[in-house]
Amino acid sequence: MFSRTFFKINNLLISQSVRKVLVQPAANMSGNSSKLLNSNMWDSDPELFSIIQKEKKRQQAGLEMIASENFTSLPVLQCLSSCLHNKYSEGLPGQRYYGGNEYIDEVELLAQKRALEAYNLNAEDWGVNVQPYSGSPANFAVYTAIAEPHGRIMGLDLPDGGHLTHGFFTPTKKISCTSLFFESMPYKVDPETGLIDYEQLAKSSKTFRPKVIVAGVSCYSRALDYKRFKEIADDVGAYLFSDMSHISGLVSAGVTPNPFEYSDVVTTTTHKSLRGPRAAVIFFRKGVRSTNAKGEKIMYDLESKINQAVFPGLQGGPHNNAIAGIATAFKQAKSPEFVEYQKQVVANARRLAAGLQEKGYKIATGGTDVHMLLVDLRGTGISGAKAERILEEISIACNKNTVPGDKSALNPSGFRLGTPAITTRGLVETDIDKVVDFIDRGLKLAKEASVVSGPKLVDFKNVLEKDETFKNKVAALRNEVETFSNSFPLPGYPDY
């Protein structure tokens, strides 16, 4: 029954001949092997397929407000499940360790060309590697290339909005391999304003003398001052490495400052605001880096160092299906529709911040310039973990997060919200007002439950799960959220 529905819908999407291959065993195959190779997933593995369908339904029925997530397009999903998946192609286009790569080369060169075009970069001044499997390995490749083992790196502290890969460690443990294999030192935000303390970075970088300064964030709702970062990096002779993973869609659309003007290296994941496949790219400068006192030109030597750090340094065969997805995502990034989408992402985030402020919630830094915001729950009687929990119960996905000045990273006082995914589904400002109302009602419910449960999360969960009054209130609100969410489409395959 499912197969019928699927093909009815997909008649629009795939040709008759492709459909035949999907439903019929190949003529020259027989017995088990043919069945194994050619039956559809829903026939060959219904147990797994039903789990995937449940996840699809969850995505459809809930409001996805995790700032790093998005719903990628049908063409990207088609690239990911294409024959490109099958091919080994270690090396770069024209220099492969395997044969049969003429079309793989074409795909990779197209992805490189479109990556540069998406940010209006000139191939004389910038190169790009499109092979990193994801953001964390891309960043590790950059450090491997330009910091060398035990080289010094400064990035925004994780509790202040930086990413793990920017060097996170605790007093007792080196958490990220960036702190294990390199020497990392964090810079911070001002605990009062929540804004990056550039002065403190300028001072401590003069003592620490890093080789690399990272300008990049996972939870920070203001535009970065790349010019200031560059001045600080230049003062100590460091490379400026911008990790624009969260904002690369916004940068491409020109709705937030562009890191390329000031950076030596730029990385981005391709699956966040950019809305491509789960992968990453590294951009690196070429040409003249500086001129010395004698007037001699010092050239960048990043290209081979970065390419070699990716392969053979850290990776093997590139994921060619993902590279094709990168190519088609960067093509989309040049379209007027994509620019409108990014404008809407920011407009929605601003409306969300303003709406929550009107309801009395405190937003870190006082608002947002980008696609995300951080709600500061201090003084409300609810922790970030409780907020995350209640919102999950009512089908709104978000994550707990430290807020500037938080004493414990283990029990954060806020939660992060983002608008890329819900904007992909078509929500605009008036819909955001409804979302604000759902969040507010959820948090009020959390406050009531918290009075009954006391401070511990485990007791809070128990109240939500076992107390009939709360169970009913949560279920009624979840029902409202899901009815609302189900009225917005999801891109991709209809049923999985």
Ligand X SMILES: Cc1ncc(COP(=O)(O)O)c(C=O)c1O
Residues with a catalytic annotation lie at 219, 271
Q: Which stretch binds ligand X (CB under 6 A): 35-43, 110-118, 133-141, 360-368?
A: 133-141
Terminus-to-terminus CA distance in the chain, angstroms?
15
> In the complex, what is the shortest distance from the CB of residue 224 to ligand X, in angstroms, rounded to a whole number?
11
- One-letter amino acid at 429 equals E
> In the complex, what is the shortest distance from the CB of residue 186 to ligand X, in angstroms, rounded to a whole number?
14
- Report yes or no: 210 and 185 within 8 Å, Cβ to Cβ: yes
User: Which two three-digit tokens encode residue 121?
Assistant: 């970069």
> In the complex, what is the shortest distance from the CB of residue 396 to ligand X, in angstroms, rounded to a whole number?
19
Indicate the Cα dihedral angle 245, 246, 250, 252, nearest 10°: 10
135 binds ligand X (CB under 6 A): yes
Report the largest interatomic distance among the alpha carbons of the chain, rounded to a whole angstrom.
Answer: 79
> In the complex, what is the shortest distance from the CB of residue 348 to ligand X, in angstroms, rounded to a whole number?
19
- Which x/- pattern, by CB under 6 A, does the window 148-177 give for ligand X? ---------------x-x------------
Q: Which 264-293 positions form the footprint of ligand X (CB under 6 A)? A: 269
Long-range CB contacts (within 8 A, 24+) of 2-6: 2/42, 2/495, 3/40, 3/42, 3/43, 5/494, 5/495, 6/42, 6/494, 6/495
Report the distance separating Cα 131 and Cα 92, nearest Å. 9
Q: Which stretch binds ligand X (CB under 6 A): 24-32, 129-137, 368-376, 379-387?
A: 129-137
Report the distance separating Cα 279 and Cα 257, nearest Å. 23
Which residue among 134, 204, 411, 462 contacts ligand X (CB under 6 A)? 134
136 binds ligand X (CB under 6 A): yes
Q: How do 362-363 and 372-376 pair as beta strands?
A: antiparallel
Q: How do 152-156 and 183-187 pair as beta strands?
A: parallel
Report the distance separating Cα 115 and Cα 110, nearest Å. 8
Which residue lies nearer to ligand X by CB, 219 or 255? 219
402 binds ligand X (CB under 6 A): no
User: Which two three-digit tokens encode residue 95?
Assistant: 């220099």
> In the complex, what is the shortest distance from the CB of residue 247 to ligand X, in angstroms, rounded to a whole number?
9
Report the distance separating Cα 309 and Cα 388, nearest Å. 38
User: Which two three-digit tokens encode residue 393?
Assistant: 């119960």
Q: Which stretch binds ligand X (CB under 6 A): 52-60, 134-142, 282-290, 327-335?
A: 134-142
Q: How do 152-156 and 212-216 pair as beta strands?
A: parallel
Which residue among 62, 216, 412, 418 contacts ligand X (CB under 6 A)? 216
245 binds ligand X (CB under 6 A): yes
246 binds ligand X (CB under 6 A): yes
- Report yes or no: 301 and 135 within 8 Å, Cβ to Cβ: no
Which residue lies nearer to ligand X by CB, 42 or 181? 181
> In the complex, what is the shortest distance from the CB of residue 15 to ligand X, in angstroms, rounded to a whole number?
33
218 binds ligand X (CB under 6 A): yes
State the residues that interact with ligand X by CB under 6 A.
Answer: 68, 134-136, 139, 163, 165, 216, 218, 243, 245-246, 269
